[in-house]
Structure formats: structure tokens, C-alpha cells
Amino acid sequence: MHELAHRLGMVGAKSRLRSLASALVANGNDPKLVQELLRHSNVKTTLDIYAKAMTRAKLEAQGWVLQQLLTEEVKSAVV
């Protein structure tokens, strides 16, 4: 996991939170749930700042990047 954490560390914390919030809302999760997960006091913060509109193409691209990171982690753990 150390290598994966290192690779994910190259992406800023705010970017990861925005991606997480956007993906959760885009996949139909209740915005109040996302608010609670991000520990925001107001759902407006979650929706206005973190949960940006996501197209299916953006979601697929994010999934591909995550898969590549995880695949590399598995490969390095096996070697």
C-alpha cells in the first residue's frame, strides 16, 4: 500500500476530495450522505465547491486511472 499511497500523494488532497464527492453524487448517492462523509457542516459547501458535474466520460477516465494505480500496486506487491 505504501507505493499506492505515494502515487496518490502526487494528486492534491483537495483534488481527491473533489473527485470523490463528484463521483459519489454523479453515481446517485444522496448529497447529504456525501456531506457527512466529507464532514461538511453544510450541504451547500459539498455541492457548490466539491461536487462538480461529471460526465460519463470523466467517470470512466477516473475509473481507468484508479484501475491503473491499483493494478501497478498489485504487480509490485507480487514481485
User: What pLDDT score was predicted for residue 1?
Assistant: 41
Contact by Cβ (8 Å): 4, 68: no
Rounded to two decimals, what is the model's pTM?
0.53
Q: Is residue 36 part of a domain?
A: yes
Is the per-residue pLDDT at 45 higher than 50?
yes
**What are residue 35's phi and psi, to 5 degrees?**
-55, -45
Of 28, 31, 30, nearest to 48 (Cα)?
31
Q: Is residue 1 part of a domain?
A: no
Task: Give the largest CA-CA distance in the chain.
Answer: 46
Q: In the structure, what pLDDT confidence band is assigned to residue 74 with cuts at 50, 70 and 90?
A: low
Q: Is residue 6 part of a domain?
A: no
Q: Is residue 25 part of a domain?
A: yes
Total count of domains within the chain: 1
Q: Is residue 3 part of a domain?
A: no
Q: Is residue 62 part of a domain?
A: yes
Of 44, 41, 52, 42, nearest to 14 (Cα)?
52
What is the DSSP code (8-state) at residue 48? I
